[in-house]
């Protein structure tokens, strides 16, 4: 069962209600690090620094150095499981998550986009939360509630449902109009906010590359926290994203623009500078939007 707590609405704003441990840890990291930034850990083998390519624990070492260099600038880390599994580095992913938990107070979102029939979803949930030790997991809603329930039953974990994603082809399915005259992504948002969120542990993915749809999702879900990819390498506009997402919690993700800011042995220093610049740009845009509203 969720424990008593407060839910994040944005910088300095809180709403009393039950809340899961994941959102508590995100809120604490936001306050401590003055940050809305989540760094995605996508260790593409073709882009690793030359001295780590092919090394027995090169994937772990690369991500570890990024974590060590940036953990005071972020509110979450988000390793993408495919980059580890495709290199046979699942053990290195487990080590990485353990390292983050042992050396920082930053929560870990496992980006795996899991879901299947109920029995398989139970195994996916066990994989994410009991094998890897993740604090949150991205999931796919298109099997319906019965496939999501095994994840949602981990009431202290964040369950982050795909809603309106940041990739160019997302509209092919997510913007299809239903018989009721609303797009599919709005149906997902409505169900996530009203029918599925019995434990208060649902978040939604809403891409920064589509600020209009992002604003519509915010209207539907109210203060529910949104995981927002699409800034940095995908080109989402930070100011437009903040304007669309205002009124609730946000976790703003950047991956390649941070972790591959440098390519030599000083890559972690370059990542820190990129993370610092991104965090500050987000904060500047947030304060500018707030000032415009007050004016």
Q: Which active-site residues does the annotation give?
A: 113
User: Helices 145-152 and 118-126 meet at what angle, rounded to 10?
Assistant: 30
**Helix-helix angle 58-70:267-294, to 10 degrees:** 40
Alpha helices by DSSP H, listed for 153-210, are: 171-174, 184-194
Between helices 90-103 and 58-70, what is the axis angle to 10°?
20
Sheet holding 109-114, edge to edge: 76-79, 37-41, 250-254, 226-228, 202-206, 158-164, 136-139, 109-114
- The token duo for 161 is 């449902």
Interatomic CA distance for residues 236 and 209, integer angstroms: 4
Residues 9, 248: Cα–Cα separation, whole Å: 4
Other beta carbons within 10 angstroms of residue 261's beta carbon come to 20
Query: Beta strands of 3-127 (E only): which ranges?
Result: 3-10, 13-19, 37-41, 76-79, 109-114
Q: Strands 3-10, 13-19: parallel, antiparallel or unpaired by DSSP?
A: antiparallel
CA distance 131 to 192: 26
Cα distances from 240 to residues 165, 192, 288, in angstroms, run 16, 24, 11
Residue 48 CA to residue 62 CA, distance in Å, equals 7
């Amino acid at each position: 069962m969720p424990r008593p707590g407060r839910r994040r609405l944005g910088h300095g704003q809180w709403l009393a209600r039950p809340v899961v441990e994941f959102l508590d840890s995100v809120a604490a990291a936001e306050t401590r690090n003055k940050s809305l930034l989540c760094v995605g850990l996508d260790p593409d083998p073709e882009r690793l620094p030359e001295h780590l390519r092919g090394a027995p624990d090169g994937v772990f070492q690369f991500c570890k150095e990024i974590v060590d260099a940036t953990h005071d600038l972020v509110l979450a880390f988000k390793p993408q499981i495919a980059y580890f599994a495709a290199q046979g580095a699942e053990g290195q992913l487990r080590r990485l998550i353990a390292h983050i938990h042992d050396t920082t107070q930053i929560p870990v979102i496992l980006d795996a986009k899991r879901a299947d029939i109920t029995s398989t979803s139970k195994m996916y949930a066990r994989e994410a939360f009991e094998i890897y030790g993740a604090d949150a997991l991205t999931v796919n809603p298109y099997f319906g509630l019965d496939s999501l329930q095994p994840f949602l039953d981990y009431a202290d974990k964040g369950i982050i449902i795909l809603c309106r994603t940041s990739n160019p082809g997302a509209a092919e399915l997510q913007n299809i109009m239903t018989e009721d005259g609303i797009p599919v992504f709005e149906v997902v948002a409505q169900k996530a906010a009203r029918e599925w969120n019995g434990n208060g542990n649902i978040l939604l993915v809403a891409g920064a590359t589509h600020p209009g749809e992002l604003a519509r999702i915010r209207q539907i879900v109210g203060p529910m926290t949104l995981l927002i990819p699409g800034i940095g390498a995908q080109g989402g506009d930070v100011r437009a994203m903040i304007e669309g997402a205002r009124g609730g919690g946000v976790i703003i993700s950047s991956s390649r623009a941070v972790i591959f800011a440098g390519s030599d042995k000083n890559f972690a220093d370059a990542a820190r500078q990129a993370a610092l610049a991104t965090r500050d740009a987000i904060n500047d845009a947030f304060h500018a939007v707030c000032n415009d509203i007050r004016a």
